[in-house]
Amino acid sequence: MTIKEQENFPEVTFYQITESGPTALKAHTILKDKKVLLVGVPGAFTPTCSDEHLPGYKKLASDFFSRGIEDIYVVSTNDPFIMKSWSNSLNISELKFISDGNGEFRNKSGLETDLSVVGLGLRLSRFAMIIDNGKIIKIFNDNGPGLEVSKAENVIKSI
């Protein structure tokens, strides 16, 4: 079952790297009392994600922030070390990178794509989601690895 607009964001645990190593990050903690943009990608270091999807969010970050978005998170079904390395390689300080390495969010959200045919297994679909105080306001789901609906240039028009 795929999550829908106007529903509460599922209770899941993401991960990030801090000075003490991998650290659990409860979804309700990062979403409480904030308007957040969550950008989902199939894989860190992949060409479409790195070269086409995230640069738009970097370019338009200040526009998102001026329209009330307080944080922009990027999530993928990669481990937190990979997400940290990817963030460092892209030099995008405007975005926060978090891991759904266990696939908990992927499983609970239904925002899944099967990329086994290219050796990547089950991954998150490419999407963007506006969340206000834990409530899903708008979902821009590409329903797979393609890139059209969830481009930053399309998402900014809806805010």
The CATH number for 92's domain is 3.40.30.10
What predicted TM-score, i.e. pTM, was given to this entire model? Answer: 0.94
Confidence grade of residue 145 (pLDDT, cut at 50, 70, 90)? confident
Q: What is the DSSP string of 15-27?
A: EEEETTEEEEEEH
d(CA 81, CA 14): 13
7 domain-assigned: no
Examine residue 6 and state whether it is found in any structural domain, yes or no.
Answer: no
Mean pLDDT throughout 8-32?
96
Residue 81 within a domain: yes
Provide the domain limits for residue 139.
13-158
Backbone angles phi, psi at 40, to 5 degrees: -100, 140
pLDDT for residue 9: 98
d(CA 32, CA 78) in angstroms, rounded, equals 24
Q: What is the pLDDT of residue 119?
A: 64
CA distance 25 to 65: 22
Classify residue 58: in a domain, yes or no.
yes
Residues tagged active-site = 49
86 is a domain residue: yes
Q: Is residue 136 part of a domain?
A: yes
Is residue 146 very low, low, confident or very high in pLDDT (cuts 50, 70, 90)?
confident
Predicted confidence (pLDDT) per residue in 21-63, tens digit = 999 999 999 999 999 999 999 989 988 888 889 999 999 999 9
Give tens-digit pLDDT for 70-108: 999 999 999 999 999 999 999 999 999 999 999 999 999
CA dist 65 and 58 (Å) reads 11
Residue 1 domain flag: no
- Is 3 domain-assigned? no
Q: Structurally, how many domains does the chain consist of?
A: 1
Does residue 126 have a pLDDT over 90? Answer: yes
